Amino acid sequence: MKKILIFLSVFICGYTHAQTYLKGNVLTTLLTIPNVGVETSIGEKSTFQFDVTASLWKSIKSNPRQFYIFVPEYRYHFKEKNNGFYIGGHIGATLFNFQKWNYLNTNKYEKGVGYIMGSTIGYNAKINEKIHLDCFFGGGSHQGFYKGYTIGTNERYEGAIKYNKSGEWLIYRVGFMVAYQLN
């Protein structure tokens, strides 16, 4: 996982001649769920951001709580790039070993993959020429493909032959990122 993040960061930063920012989400990091990203200019008022959110815990009180969210996102800035309001659209991927929200008080959990499609609204504020703050909120549809297991025995609890499927509309992007301009 770390090698993929390092490769993507070096690739994006090394092959672009535009403004590029490394970003870290203060809000999720305080909750011990790191969210890091790279944002680069692709047009007069457009940027592209790729970020990863990860809950690295194997479990909390024996309940699985591990997930990864990979989000490539196009952003349109109304005023100017990296200053003022913006909207974004994304299609991303998820990996999870987690209890769904409606199984929190049971001995059931789900392990699988999924994809997300949604949008983000945010505001960038310049602190100085190198440092910006990015406050954002977003969500959309998550479509999951998983196998359900019982905690303790790790036996399947549902009757799906291959993968069970579910879809929810969720808020899965909230944060306050500190951005540092590389070039």
Asked whether the predicted pLDDT for residue 122 surpasses 80, the reply is yes
Residue labelled with tokens 């990996």: 95
The mean-pLDDT minimum among 40-54, 76-90, 117-131, 149-163 falls in: 149-163
What distance separates the 2 farthest-apart alpha carbons in the chain? 57
Question: Model confidence over 154-174: pLDDT tens digits?
Answer: 899 988 889 999 999 999 899
Choice between 11 and 76, residue whose per-residue pLDDT is larger:
76
Rounded CA-CA distance 59/111 in Å is 13
Task: Return the exposure string of 60-98: e unless at least 16 CB atoms fall within 10 Å of the residue's CB, then b.
Answer: eeebbbbbbbbbebbbebeeebbeeebebebebebbbbb
More confident residue, 89 or 170: 89
What integer pLDDT is reported at residue 176 of this predicted model?
A: 95
The beta-strand segments (E) located in the chain are 20-25, 35-41, 46-55, 59-60, 63-77, 84-98, 108-126, 131-150, 164-181
pTM, full prediction: 0.84
Q: Is the pLDDT of residue 14 over 80?
A: no
